[in-house]
Structures are given as C-alpha cells and as structure tokens.
Amino acid sequence: MIVLNDKCKKCNCICCAIHFQRNFDNWASGNDDIDKLIQDTQLSAHGSNHDNDVFKDVLEWIPYDRFYNIKYITRGGFGKVYRANWIDGYIINWKSGFWNRHNENMFVALKSLDNSKNVTLEFMNEIASHNKGKINNTFIIGFYGMTQDPETKNYMMVLDYAEDGSLRNYLDREYSKLNWDEKIEYMFDIITGLYRIHNKELIHRDLHIGNILKLKYRIAITDMGLCKPANYIALENAKNNIYGVLSYIAPEILRGQNTYSKAADIYSFGIIMYEIISGLPPYHDISHDENLAINICRGLRPRFNAKVPQLIVHLIKRCLDANPLNRPMAGEIKDTLRKWQYIPAELKAQIEEADEFNSDNLPIDSVTLTNLGLSYEIHSEAIYTSRLLDFNDLPEPKNSDDYYKQNDNIISKKFSGN
C-alpha cells in the first residue's frame, strides 16, 4: 500500500525520481561523491514514467559485468579509452515495475582516468561538466553513467561510442569526398554544441578537433574535463602553466593575461573551422614550440592552400581576432551557419568562384589527395595532444598589419613574425 510520504512532493505522485530513490540501497560505487552525483541526477527525474525527456540528464551506476567485448582504443590526455558492448542499453521509461531500456548490446566508450580509484577533483569536475553540458545527447557526446574497472579500480565514464573516431581522423580518410554542404553542417553541429555549453555558463577550455567526435549522423563535442563555470576565477600559480593544444589556444591565454573565457573557446572554434575547410591540421609543417607561440601573439594564423569563399574567410578571421572583444558569440555564429546551410545566393556565387579557381589552379605543395584520403607531412615537433605549456614574456597579442585587408585568406604571405 502506497502512503503519502512515498509520493514526490513536486509531482504529488510516484514519479521516476521515487522509483530511482527506492533503489538507492541496491547499488554503490564505493565513493560517496560519485554516489551523490548519480543520486542527484536521478532525483531530478520528475515527470511521467513514459516521458523520455525525464531521463535525458540521468546517470546510472553500471556494474562492470554488464559490459563485454571490451577493447582498448586509444589513450587520451587523462587516461585510456575502450570500446565495449553494453548488455542492457539505456533507460527510456518505467513500465510494469521495471525500467524499460533501449538499444540492447549497444556499443559504448568507456573512458578511464588514471589513478581515479582515489578520486580527484578534476575527475569529479569532468563528470559534473559532462552532465551539465549535455542536452538530449545531441552535439554533446552522450553520457550514460559510471562504472569501475575491477582490476585497476579506476572509475570509468560510459559514453556514446563514435564509430568514425575523432573528426581529425575522419577528415584524413574522407576529406576528398566532402562537399560544401557537409562542411557547413559539421561546423554547425560543433558551434551548436559549444553554444549549449556556453548557454549553461560553462567554458570548454580544451576545444580542439581531437575532442570533436564523428558519430554516424552527427558531430559531437567531448572531453569536458577542463570545463569550468564562466565565472570561475583560477588561482594563479607562480608560473603561468597552460594546458591544451598550442595551435588552438587563443593568444591572450598563451600570454597569460586573461583567464579562460567564452571568447577563448571561440578562437579554438575558428581554428577548427579552418581545419574543416582546408582538411589540414593547423601549422602542421612547423614545430609547435615557443617560437610558434610568439608568432601567434604577433598575428600569425594558418593559411589556406586553396581559394575559399570570402564569407567563410571573414567569419574565421573574426573568430581568430587577437582582441577577444572582437570575436563573435557562439549564438551569432550558430545563426550564421544555419543560414549558410541553405546556401544563400551570395555564398553560392563565392563557392562556385572558388571551385572554378581551384580546379584550374591546383596548389603545388606537400598536400595531396589520394584514394585513401588526405596525405600530408607533419613536422616531427608538431604536437596535437593536450599538454602543459609554460611560456614567459610573450609579446602582446595583435593582428597582422594587413589582417583586415586580406579578403581571400586568413593571413597574408607577407607575415614575417616581426
């Protein structure tokens, strides 16, 4: 018999939150903080037992034995990533006394963090940020819950598995097959994800193309481990240590004159736009050292190796402006890219002009298109994984002298680094 105290005070009925709460004694992660995080998401599941939206932010504790075919994929900045099959699939509603689930035996990614058996604040921050940033698992990688490796005792996040890997890997294989519609769609997906992160008053802080995943029907942002609230004020160390991929970091961050901001994420997005349009990693043919950091502060930006529509060049340049106040907000970029998805007349004319020019004037350099995809040479000291960077006395950020005069490229060939 159900008594009044069993009912949810908010819903005045036995809602999904109550069903989750009744099961709290039947599971435990072994860590009070993780238990509380999961329980808090489940206690927020108010509403009808048949409303799928109720479960969009819910996390579960998933026993490790509910996964099989666990295979190592790669190593990320903070730990290892595995692919696995999840026997049960994710919750969609409560029916006849049980949780009804969808997509049994689905592929998932298990992201482990080193030494997380002694859970760190950084790990808890990644969990909280991922869950706060996602909305209906669209444009932010889907996050289902937590598990624990019984051998290493490391905790693991259970995430959507990206069939095509990172967008960087996908571009290397498929760039020659992409048309302008697809490139614009990819950029729109990414900026929509970033817009939703910013709209939650978060900052990604480590946005680069390795943290952009290509799923079957969409592009999604992942690796929210450095996400911080937009009003977060970091305690500065004696040295200005910066973590990230050098070629994506805004010049004001490299110089240490500003804490991370939404505008710094927009700079990173501008580099990703360049990469999707060109197919090339930024500064792939030079060393990623202090000299590159100096030149970025002096106005160096990556160059296109082919003609690109001026509207696209102009938007990228706005994102890469040395002055963060001149960069557009994520919402403005999203609205612009949404309009471009319909290829308005002005953009269509510029695309046709660029395609015609490029077909008659193929660039001659180390970049080639093959049946296997894009082929290019990467400098032995070009580094595209996140790392600690420590630069001193970098020059004040500025745009190159002819930054606003260049219509056909982000930066002119005249840049000398002076």
For residue 309, the domain's CATH number is 1.10.510.10
Q: Within this chain, do residues 31 and 153 fall inside the same structural domain, yes or no?
A: yes
Is residue 237 a part of any domain in this protein? yes
Q: Within this chain, do residues 74 and 139 fall inside the same structural domain, yes or no?
A: yes
* Contact between 91 and 58 (Cβ < 8 Å): yes
3-state class of 372 per DSSP?
coil
pLDDT at position 65 is 97
Is residue 289 a part of any domain in this protein? yes
- Domain finish residue from 160, 176, 210: 160
CA-CA-CA-CA dihedral for 119, 205, 197, 210, to nearest 10? -90
Is residue 338 a part of any domain in this protein? yes
Is residue 12 a part of any domain in this protein? no
pLDDT at position 4 is 40
Q: Within this chain, do residues 95 and 223 fall inside the same structural domain, yes or no?
A: no
Is residue 413 a part of any domain in this protein? no
User: Among candidates 181, 168, 247, which has minimal Cα distance to 210?
Assistant: 168
Is residue 134 a part of any domain in this protein? yes
Q: Within this chain, do residues 171 and 130 fall inside the same structural domain, yes or no?
A: no
Is residue 275 a part of any domain in this protein? yes
* Contact between 156 and 165 (Cβ < 8 Å): no
Is residue 407 a part of any domain in this protein? no
Q: Within this chain, do residues 137 and 194 fall inside the same structural domain, yes or no?
A: no
- Domain finish residue from 144, 160, 176: 160
Domain that includes residue 119, residue range = 21-160
Q: What does the alpha-carbon distance between residue 284 and residue 11 come to, in Å, rounded to a whole number?
A: 56
Q: pLDDT tens for residues 7-48? A: 787 787 888 888 899 999 999 999 888 898 899 889 988 876
Q: Within this chain, do residues 115 and 217 fall inside the same structural domain, yes or no?
A: no
Q: Within this chain, do residues 37 and 82 fall inside the same structural domain, yes or no?
A: yes
Q: Within this chain, do residues 252 and 126 fall inside the same structural domain, yes or no?
A: no
pLDDT at position 140 is 85
Report how many domains make up the chain. 2
Q: Within this chain, do residues 153 and 171 fall inside the same structural domain, yes or no?
A: no
For residue 107, the tally of other CB atoms under 10 A from its CB is 14
pLDDT at position 235 is 34
Q: What does the alpha-carbon distance between residue 281 and residue 270 come to, in Å, rounded to a whole number?
A: 13
Cβ neighbors of 276 (< 8 A, separation 6 or more) are 167, 171, 183, 186, 187
For residue 125, the domain's CATH number is 3.30.200.20
- Domain finish residue from 110, 144, 160: 160
For residue 155, the Cα-to-chain-centroid distance in whole angstroms is 21
Q: pLDDT tens for residues 101-126? A: 999 999 999 988 777 777 766 667 66
Q: Within this chain, do residues 116 and 225 fall inside the same structural domain, yes or no?
A: no
Q: Within this chain, do residues 45 and 155 fall inside the same structural domain, yes or no?
A: yes
Q: Within this chain, do residues 286 and 175 fall inside the same structural domain, yes or no?
A: yes
For residue 243, the tally of other CB atoms under 10 A from its CB is 14
Q: What is the pLDDT tens value at each position of the chain, 418 positions in all?
A: 333 457 787 787 888 888 899 999 999 999 888 898 899 889 988 876 656 667 777 899 999 999 999 999 987 666 789 999 999 999 988 888 889 999 999 999 998 877 777 776 666 766 776 666 555 447 888 889 999 999 999 999 899 999 899 999 999 999 989 999 999 999 999 999 999 889 988 888 899 999 999 988 889 998 876 555 555 444 333 345 688 899 999 999 999 876 789 999 999 999 999 999 999 999 999 999 999 999 999 999 999 988 999 999 999 999 999 999 999 999 999 999 999 999 999 999 999 999 999 888 765 555 665 555 577 889 999 999 888 888 988 999 999 888 877 778 888 777 756 5
What are the helix (H) ranges across 256-391?
262-278, 290-297, 310-319, 330-340, 345-360
Cβ neighbors of 173 (< 8 A, separation 6 or more) are 372, 373, 374
User: Among candidates 365, 413, 184, 370, which has minimal Cα distance to 276?
Assistant: 184
